[in-house]
Structure 1
């Protein structure tokens, strides 16, 4: 009888999550109902699954209690609304009906078309109109009118009594109780951006929209039994049982085959391509590689994963062959030799002893995927290729669902209550948490927030996950069209996995842009072709490893952050395998667990490492007995305990909290102990090994993932080492990395390049370098319009260099405001005139006249020039202008702004000579990081540059920093004790103060 149930996926309207809807229905003895969320089908598959699974879960209890076990019959559809006004409810008769509904809604979402007043003609869908709708036509065979119990009195002499067969029971469900009704009111106020007291009644649900026993609902219609009969007849005509999965694991919904010829041809094709790549990677006679290849292909074929590999290969082939794009294949997919030979990844799984089972094995239930990174500005090209290659309704982006987790919702609740902004701001301030807890109004807001917490808030788009399906995706979801311009499913990756989809992750990162552009600049400026994939040469280059050891790889992907630089120096890292380990132990969980410190200690004293037994030494010698990688956990479970590799990976994943069944997990744990005993290990040893596995498994990281990062780091290191100027220009043109822009400009200057301010006769949109001269681009100038950023260099390239200010104005049609901006920065210094003279001159052309029309002149008439008195210019004033318009001073050191000449008594390069001593240093602020201690107090880590341009790092403990806080950009006087940790010196701050700077001469009276 319940044909219009809303879940919390009816965003900012419904309050009951899908699982709870089914639980409540079972508790009330309801045996059939329809989930019909507003303008979406997000929860439909979850609802069908819950009806099935909750029925199975309760079966044993019901039988034991003498009850008849049952499953709720799931019916599904969509409630269509326009501008918060109910139009009609669509109920799917079957799977085809669900597709029709989803495609109808998708079409209107994609084309941004308003929904029509009348329902479309969809043969496998029943449509239900509200009783209040007026009809000027006959209802179609599949159209009905829903009537509420309280509307029955209005049936007297109503025109619909002439078509009794069209009336059905309409009892919408939106909330569970009075508390949730109040929550519903808050949600509506937030959605409508209005005060709680101003929400119109017709924008809210009725307070009786709750689940009630089916018999109670039927009794409300006793006088009109034909309405009950019509409703039951409609329900009986709905059948979605085809969606039920018979097995524990859902069948794959991805493409069954890559080729038109089918699965058998796919297997042959994958073998052919893989073995061709095997020769390229390993040569023709590598038996170890061939055996590994056969093993992987067998599992890939068994799991029907050939299409997934071939589709990924096709994407890579297009990127390399047609677009000349560079990519990085990372994640657990790098454990595969097939992926390596298909050039999906550049990580050699044999050289690194990587297990394919970490990616795919016979017992894996969740679908694995490849993470493919492209440059930040090239990814969209690849995405467009995928969407163009596969048919409409068969390709879509994954969605995401944001929830009301963020405490910023406190601000939204405050607004709908009409609180003043100052009060809302104080409630949102985390530093006033204790004070706020004594405030009754705050507690009211917090209580509402607790009820909202984890409820769906809004749909969005996944970072890079794409689905490519065999049957239309619209059997399972409607599609949205976000601003990004690619159709997107209405659920997230977890629901996709539950349904049976494997995603293709097409991601992006700026590090690839750095590498790509550096190679292009080197080819253009140095006439040299760089094989950036020649990793085997890079990893053995002593110059590259020397930079690693010194911990100074600024600009290099993944290894330039302060924490990573410190770790590299503490490890004295000078080889690829150590860098791979560093990429894993730098992760927050590993560091906080103590594993990082343990690894560094053992790394420097490998002879003192005590292994539990010879088997543990054999398997963990590379990481000195610490299970750094997920592959280490697999190795120990396999070689020490005797589990097969598939079970070892299942256990590894389960210990990370990703197990579907606790019973299955307990069985595997028992299997570990039984199998280890059979291998002759003592109970004490087995218990200790299990304790270590349990403590490490949750923190360990995929070795293949770290190896992928390390390969890219070495590629960046190679370019920075041998082509530092070109590399730093590429970093700047791809919007930097960990640090702010001025740090990379500083690094470019350290390479010996002469860095110039933007110039209209030399600069392009981005930074350019010719021989030793680097010109900043127009992109970095704050306030300069985009059209001028593009026009100035384009006009110069077409018609030659600008000759003087007047010609520049005529050719660019620049406005006075924009011209002043360029003059102040010195971008027209080619004229030979100083800035103030140019500022005077520009008013002669643009100050009191209308905008010039750029038309051809019969005769070139120049303006008369007048002699001006000598105008004063100041280097300090220029530096302030650069700071204002670029965000940093280019030709003026930050230390030169200081009123004091004091530069500290110790420089960064000499810190190792002052270990244990309290010193004064002066540092130019680079960045800071806030962390929480075990006691939940805050401490800070700072990074600075000294007067010589060298980095040094500081530690600010909770008892000192609140008294001496960071105050943003500028130079600081630091009093602190120099300490050393594994050879890395840093300053434990005792006192800390920002130094005063000289005033801008223009601001001085």
Structure 2
């Protein structure tokens, strides 16, 4: 009788998860019900699976609302009916039009209007009446509507506690106080499953309404194919046999290009992979990915194929990936095997400004009815939820701030208000909050995708399904990951700049040659890698130096052991020690030596963990696959891990392994959970790192400009400007007659772009260089204003940042001029003038700007000074007793240093105390690193950007020097002369 049931996917309204709904229904003996979440069908497929598993008949539907008003409820008679409802909602979501008062005609779905609807009802349309509305039927002639009345008992909450949660959700959704949530804003406290027999008792005087409802629900059958079904597009050519033949031809052609004509090992491997791909019906998946890559390559887009897909030699031959699996001994089974329970996918990276065109191609090539972006579901979590709860409770900001301050956890523990907030938080935590868009997943379906979901139109502007990647996999979709990353943008832009600025053609795809270049490997060894993809962070630069990394294979390992799980387990340190002393490696067991000799007995990759579980503990391929999934933070489950631990120890015991050894092996295995990379993933990253390294080494100025123009990387913008200057560039402040929107370089002169000026409106960032290109350079301040229509505030920003220095007038003179021109006008006139009349000029006393004033202007408007360094701004001339280059000769000594803050990293010790790692540059422009232990450090040592005086002990780890901080203080800078 329940044809209006809501789950927590009725966002910020419904309170029960689908398992909770079904559990309640089972307890009450309910045999069928309709899931009708508000304006979405997110949970319908999950609902059907869960109901089928518990013996309840599922029926899909959608409740359509406009603002707070219930318009009508759609109930699917079958699969086609679900598509009709999804299509209707999709139409309005994508066109961004309001839902109509009256639903369109539908052939396979019922529509239920709330009681009181006065329009004519079609054959498939009904009126829903609540038990508290039955009094309105007294003394009324029901002949005309008798067959149209249905029981309407909405379900939103489970009990009183659920109703309180509902009220909090409504307050958060409406951004109002709990006391201001009115009856029209929320459900009734009776909107729940009623005790068994209660609903029938309330309608006992109108048994025909119960019969109507039961009969309608009995006609509904969600006739979806059950079990594990592949929903992706099934063929590329339209025929499976033709797909198989085309994939074979492409693979053989690529085999010759990649390996030559007589590579027997590659030929054998490709044929074996093709057999598995065909048997598992993955030919179309490979061909569609190849098609996407082919399109992007024809457009001149650079891509990186990474992830477990790089384990496939076929993918390498199709140029989906650029990592040679044979060279790296990567096994295909990690990507695709007969026992694999999860859908594999290719991760294809593009530059941020090219990905959207690739996505557009996919939509056009495979049809909008069959293509959609993957969604995500964000949940209520973290301290932000405490803030939201505090707001709806009406607490003052200061009190809310104290509740979200981790340093006040102890004193808040017994606060009754805080306890109340945490009780609400416990109810709300991890429940869905809002739908969003996946980082890059694309679905291409065989049937129209609206059989399975309605579509949203997020800011991205492309149709997006209403569920996430986990649900997509359970339904039977294999996603295509079309991602973007800044590193590719750096490479692409740098190549273009080299061609423009130096008139040289650059090929970064001959990676094999790059890996043999001793100059590149020497730079890698030195850790001088700022701006280079994945190898520029302080931790990575330290690791490269400690390893003395000077080759591709070591870099592949470094890309994996840098991950937190490896470092926390102590295996990173063990790897470095063994790398430098391979003769003295002690293996836990002969199997460990057999499996891990290449990595000195240390599990570095996901593949290593799987090999150990199979060969040391006798686990089968299925368990190894579950373990791999358990290791990736995406699928972690304590139930899975508990089961695997038991199997691991039982299997090891059966093989006669020593219990103590097994415990240590498992410790190393489990420490990887959620952090490790696949070897193929690391190898893909290392390829891109070499390409970045090549450009940084041989074209450092163009490369650093490319980094700046692609939103930087690990560090703040000022550091990349610093690196650009170190590379020999003459870096100039923005100028309206020289600067483009972004940083530009000509010869060795680089002009900062207008886009970096804080407060300058985007329309002027675009207009200034465009107008200059059309009509020539600006001749004066007046000319700039006349041609761009800029107002007083915007011109002042340009003057203060030095962008009008071409006039030859000082900033103070220009500020006087602009106030004379615009000071009394609300907005400058930009009309065409019959005659150009020059503005009057007044003789002023000499107005001079100091370099200190300029530096303060730059700090404010660029975020960093260019005219002076931060060291030049210090009140003291002291620069430390020791510079970075001298640290290695002072190991064990206490030194004083002055450093310009670059970045920091916070970690927690085994005792759960905070400690920090800092990175600085000294007055010579070189990096050094600091460690701040809890016992010698205040609650929070850093005080933002600037220079610090550091007293500490010099330590050394595998040839890398650092400073263990004893005392630490930020140094004052010279007063702003304008403010003094």
Q: 1:267 aligns with which of 214, 222, 244?
A: 244
Rounded to whole Å, the distance in 2 between the matches of 1:650 and 1:492 is 20
Q: 2:441 aligns with which of 465, 477, 482?
A: 465
CA RMSD in angstroms comes to 2.3
| Aligned residues of 1:977 and 1:990 also touching (Cα < 8 A) | yes
> Hey, what does 1:310 align to over in structure 2?
287
Rounded to whole Å, the distance in 1 between the matches of 2:954 and 2:254 is 53
1:185-242 per-residue CA deviation (whole Å, 9 max, x = no partner) reads 1112222222212211132222222223553322322222211211111111011143
The equivalences for 1:501-540 within 5 A come to: 501-540=477-516
- 1:628 match: secondary structure: coil
- 2:144 match: secondary structure: helix
The Cα shift of 1:107 comes to 0.8
Q: 2:389 aligns with which of 394, 401, 413?
A: 413
- 1:15 match: secondary structure: coil
Q: How many residues align?
A: 976
- 1:207 match: secondary structure: coil
1:296-338 per-residue CA deviation (whole Å, 9 max, x = no partner) reads 11111111111111111111111110x2111111111111111
The Cα shift of 1:406 comes to 2.3
Rounded to whole Å, the distance in 2 between the matches of 1:379 and 1:855 is 41
1:153-178 per-residue CA deviation (whole Å, 9 max, x = no partner) reads 32113354433111122222111111
Distance 1:182 1:102, change over 3 A: same
> Hey, what does 1:33 align to over in structure 2?
33
The Cα shift of 1:600 comes to 1.1
1:382-435 per-residue CA deviation (whole Å, 9 max, x = no partner) reads 111112222233111111111111221122212222222222222222221111
> Hey, what does 2:161 align to over in structure 1?
179
| Aligned residues of 2:566 and 2:672 also touching (Cα < 8 A) | no
Whether 1:729 and 2:713 are equivalent positions in the alignment is no
Rounded to whole Å, the distance in 1 between the matches of 2:771 and 2:271 is 59
> Hey, what does 1:320 align to over in structure 2?
297
Rounded to whole Å, the distance in 1 between the matches of 2:584 and 2:854 is 60
> Hey, what does 2:97 align to over in structure 1?
113
> Hey, what does 1:19 align to over in structure 2?
19
The Cα shift of 1:183 comes to 1.3
Whether 1:254 and 2:232 are equivalent positions in the alignment is yes
Q: 2:117 aligns with which of 134, 142, 146?
A: 134
Distance 1:423 1:662, change over 3 A: closer
- 2:887 match: secondary structure: helix
| Aligned residues of 1:964 and 1:991 also touching (Cα < 8 A) | no
| Aligned residues of 1:402 and 1:458 also touching (Cα < 8 A) | yes
Distance 1:393 1:670, change over 3 A: farther
> Hey, what does 2:970 align to over in structure 1?
994
The Cα shift of 1:619 comes to 2.9
Rounded to whole Å, the distance in 1 between the matches of 2:495 and 2:207 is 79
| Aligned residues of 2:342 and 2:473 also touching (Cα < 8 A) | yes
> Hey, what does 1:296 align to over in structure 2?
273
1:422-476 per-residue CA deviation (whole Å, 9 max, x = no partner) reads 2222222222111112211111111111111111111111111111100011111
Rounded to whole Å, the distance in 2 between the matches of 1:224 and 1:892 is 86
Rounded to whole Å, the distance in 2 between the matches of 1:168 and 1:863 is 80
> Hey, what does 2:818 align to over in structure 1?
842
| Aligned residues of 2:569 and 2:668 also touching (Cα < 8 A) | no
Distance 1:857 1:455, change over 3 A: closer
Bigger shift: residues 590-599 or 691-700: 691-700
Distance 1:282 1:644, change over 3 A: farther
Distance 1:768 1:396, change over 3 A: same
Distance 1:609 1:648, change over 3 A: same
Q: 1:368 aligns with which of 341, 344, 355?
A: 344
> Hey, what does 2:734 align to over in structure 1?
758
The Cα shift of 1:645 comes to 6.1
**When the two structures are superposed, what TM-score results if normalisation uses the length of structure 1?**
0.93
| Aligned residues of 2:117 and 2:127 also touching (Cα < 8 A) | no
Whether 1:200 and 2:182 are equivalent positions in the alignment is yes
| Aligned residues of 1:756 and 1:774 also touching (Cα < 8 A) | yes
The Cα shift of 1:826 comes to 2.0
The Cα shift of 1:478 comes to 1.0
Whether 1:396 and 2:372 are equivalent positions in the alignment is yes
- 2:127 match: secondary structure: strand
- 2:438 match: secondary structure: strand
Rounded to whole Å, the distance in 2 between the matches of 1:984 and 1:889 is 31
Rounded to whole Å, the distance in 2 between the matches of 1:113 and 1:852 is 39
| Aligned residues of 1:627 and 1:700 also touching (Cα < 8 A) | no
1:362-392 per-residue CA deviation (whole Å, 9 max, x = no partner) reads 1112111111111112211111111222223
- 1:299 match: secondary structure: helix
Rounded to whole Å, the distance in 1 between the matches of 2:89 and 2:75 is 13
The Cα shift of 1:86 comes to 1.2
The equivalences for 1:711-790 within 5 A come to: 711-790=687-766
- 2:745 match: secondary structure: strand
| Aligned residues of 1:48 and 1:244 also touching (Cα < 8 A) | no
**When the two structures are superposed, what TM-score results if normalisation uses the length of structure 2?**
0.96
1:905-955 per-residue CA deviation (whole Å, 9 max, x = no partner) reads 010110111111111110011111111222222111111110000001111
- 1:223 match: secondary structure: helix
Rounded to whole Å, the distance in 2 between the matches of 1:596 and 1:130 is 64
Distance 1:989 1:683, change over 3 A: closer
Distance 1:194 1:841, change over 3 A: closer
Rounded to whole Å, the distance in 2 between the matches of 1:216 and 1:760 is 77
> Hey, what does 1:66 align to over in structure 2?
none
The equivalences for 1:636-675 within 5 A come to: 636-637=612-613, 648-650=624-626, 652-653=628-629, 669=648, 673=652
Rounded to whole Å, the distance in 1 between the matches of 2:753 and 2:663 is 60
1:82-125 per-residue CA deviation (whole Å, 9 max, x = no partner) reads 11111111111101011111111111111111111122211111
| Aligned residues of 1:651 and 1:668 also touching (Cα < 8 A) | no
Distance 1:425 1:640, change over 3 A: closer
| Aligned residues of 1:612 and 1:685 also touching (Cα < 8 A) | no
> Hey, what does 1:833 align to over in structure 2?
809
Rounded to whole Å, the distance in 2 between the matches of 1:391 and 1:964 is 54
Q: 2:551 aligns with which of 575, 580, 584?
A: 575
- 2:935 match: secondary structure: coil
Distance 1:230 1:911, change over 3 A: same
Bigger shift: residues 433-442 or 156-165: 156-165
Rounded to whole Å, the distance in 1 between the matches of 2:813 and 2:923 is 34
Rounded to whole Å, the distance in 2 between the matches of 1:856 and 1:105 is 50
> Hey, what does 2:425 align to over in structure 1?
449
- 2:875 match: secondary structure: coil
Distance 1:648 1:409, change over 3 A: closer
The Cα shift of 1:665 comes to 5.5
- 2:291 match: secondary structure: helix
> Hey, what does 2:254 align to over in structure 1?
277
Rounded to whole Å, the distance in 2 between the matches of 1:871 and 1:195 is 56
Which structure 1 segments of 5+ residues have no match? Answer: 56-70
> Hey, what does 1:60 align to over in structure 2?
none
Distance 1:606 1:424, change over 3 A: same
Rounded to whole Å, the distance in 1 between the matches of 2:129 and 2:834 is 81
| Aligned residues of 1:654 and 1:665 also touching (Cα < 8 A) | no
Distance 1:568 1:85, change over 3 A: same
| Aligned residues of 2:495 and 2:506 also touching (Cα < 8 A) | yes
> Hey, what does 2:145 align to over in structure 1?
163
> Hey, what does 1:61 align to over in structure 2?
none
